[in-house]
Amino acid sequence: MDLDDEGSNFELKEIQTLSGHTDRVWSLAWNPATGTDDAQPVIASCSGDKTVRIWERSALTRSWDCKAVLEETHTRTVRSCTWSPSGKLLATASFDATTAIWENVGGDFQCVSTLEGHENEVKSVSWNASESLLATCSRDKTVWIWEVMPGNEFECASVLQGHTQDVKMVKWHPTMDILFSCSYDNTIKVWAEDDTGDWHCIQTIVSGHSSTVWAISFNAGGDKMVTCSDDLTLKVWEADIEGMRSGNDQVLWKHLSTLSGYHDRTIFSVHWSREGIIASGAADDAIRFFVESKDSVVDGPSYRLLLKKEKAHDMDVNVVQWSPGENRVMASASDDGTIKIWELATSSN
Amino acid sequence: MTLGLINANPIVHAKKERVARCEDSHCYFVRDIRDPEHPYSLEQLSVLSEESISVDDKLGRILITFTPTIQHCSMATVIGLCLRVKLQECFPPHYKVDIKVSPGSHADEEAVNKQLNDKERIAAALENPNLRQLVDECLYSNEL
């Protein structure tokens, strides 16, 4: 396979630049139900301009257009957005301390619910795989778990305390109801529900990163995760997935590998593709790709740099996200106010 | 805001003869930013001096180090915000700015530096109307 061949040359081709936001774009999310033969790919993006934009690629022209601007709801920066696994709902987290839930009603996006409770800026929101739970996190140092009830009602199930600083991101495990959070306090926490229905922290990774951990991403199998940090490294962790599946609470995530020396400014985003390519977006305007190196088998896998795309944007790259539908297609967003769609291709010689 | 001043009696220095240093139309007037607590500029309070600003035009990077008037100065984060906003006005938007307190000048040096450079925290702080007002007063005050 070309990923294993270290002689393969890759290039990141720019497909299109999506402009429209009037301030930095903090995050974006591909609608998981789209990008198939029937449904054209759809992306939601959120910005410092307090709006969320919905973009769709035209079946006819193959060009991306802005289909909707969700405004007049959040009163401050919208920091993160994420679609429910079915693609029917969109959750948006804002510095205005609320999380809004949107539904596409005949082409029109309506805010069907507003989740309040955090004391200050909400930084991230995540749906679990079965769409029964939602998690949010905030500068107020807490992580909230919400139960999704019928009729777009959301009930707070738990307020998780433990982080000692601003919580930057929450992410559910891809298959199990285990929640992960990462923070300005340099740690990653793992949360699970016990038999009595109480959520508690089952692991805190403290001796990992030496500065703010900005993001977490899981591999396709769910047995590895990669985190990125202000300490300029990416760290890969692994856990015994079978142990986790059998409900063993004592299963711990262990450090597998550290990718250092590749970034010289804060890494804001990291995303692991289905195929195993790790993409990172950083404050040096570049996007980097890493794959497992087939060489070392001694102490476990190591990772090598596949490609560095310098000046991917004119300013900091805040988010990188692989397309759920098309192979090796990716989107990124930046402080420069744009979103870019890319294709990672092997360069023809 | 706090009722009492944190540093009620700062040492004030005379304003230095300003040597014209505007290369390539960049303005170096960050030193005229008013201290959040006093009607003096950061330069007069020895918070900033010429040596504390370094610009790499090729890479588009700026490093500013400043010395808060006292070791436990809680105004350090406000000064940092003021510097950042002022620099945004003076330099093209793609310039990357790192702001630090001079080594040894603050009791919580590492913690302050971390907060001064967390982009997300800075963005949220500048959306806070009270903080924004204080920053604007420091930057646009006509008392100098």
The shortest CB-CB distance from B124 to any of A24, A95, A336 is to: A95
Percent of the residues in chain B that have a pLDDT greater than 90, as a whole number = 27
Interface of B with A (CB under 8 A): 93-94, 96, 114, 118-121, 123-124, 127
Answer whether B120 sits within 8 Å of A79, measured CB to CB.
Answer: yes
The shortest CB-CB distance from B94 to any of A121, A168, A315 is to: A315
From the list A237, A205, A220, A244, the residue with the least C-alpha distance to A303 is: A237
Contact indicator for A158, A173 with CB cutoff of 8 Å:
no
For B64, other C-beta atoms within 10 Å of its C-beta total 20
- Distance from C-alpha of A99 to C-alpha of A117, rounded to nearest angstrom: 9
Tens digit of pLDDT per residue, chain A (349 long)? 788 787 789 999 999 999 999 999 999 999 999 877 778 999 999 999 999 999 999 999 999 999 999 999 999 999 999 999 999 999 999 999 999 999 999 889 999 999 999 999 999 999 999 999 999 999 999 999 999 999 999 999 999 999 999 999 999 999 999 999 999 999 999 999 998 999 999 999 998 999 999 999 999 999 999 999 999 999 999 998 888 878 776 789 999 999 999 999 999 999 999 999 999 999 999 999 999 987 766 667 899 999 999 999 999 999 999 999 899 999 999 999 999 999 999 986 5
What are the residue ranges in chain B where pLDDT is below 50?
Answer: 1-3, 17-27, 142-144
Q: Which residues, in sequence order, are CB contacts of A205 under 8 Å at separation 6+? A: A187, A188, A189, A190, A237, A253, A255
- Min Cα–Cα distance to chain B from A30, Å: 23
- Min Cα–Cα distance to chain A from B94, Å: 6
The shortest CB-CB distance from A48 to any of B93, B96, B123 is to: B123
Across the A:B interface, residue pairs with CB atoms under 8 Å apart total 37
Answer whether B96 sits within 8 Å of A77, measured CB to CB.
Answer: no
Report the predicted TM-score, pTM, of the whole model to 2 decimal places. Answer: 0.91
Answer whether B123 sits within 8 Å of A77, measured CB to CB.
Answer: yes
Question: What is the ipTM, given to two decimal places?
Answer: 0.95
The shortest CB-CB distance from A283 to any of B96, B114, B121 is to: B96
Q: Which residues, in sequence order, are CB contacts of A52 under 8 Å at separation 6+? A: A44, A45, A46, A69, A70, A74, A78, A81, A90, A92, A102
Residue whose token pair is 């047995």: A223
Which residues of chain A lie closer than 8 angstroms to B126, CB-CB? Answer: none
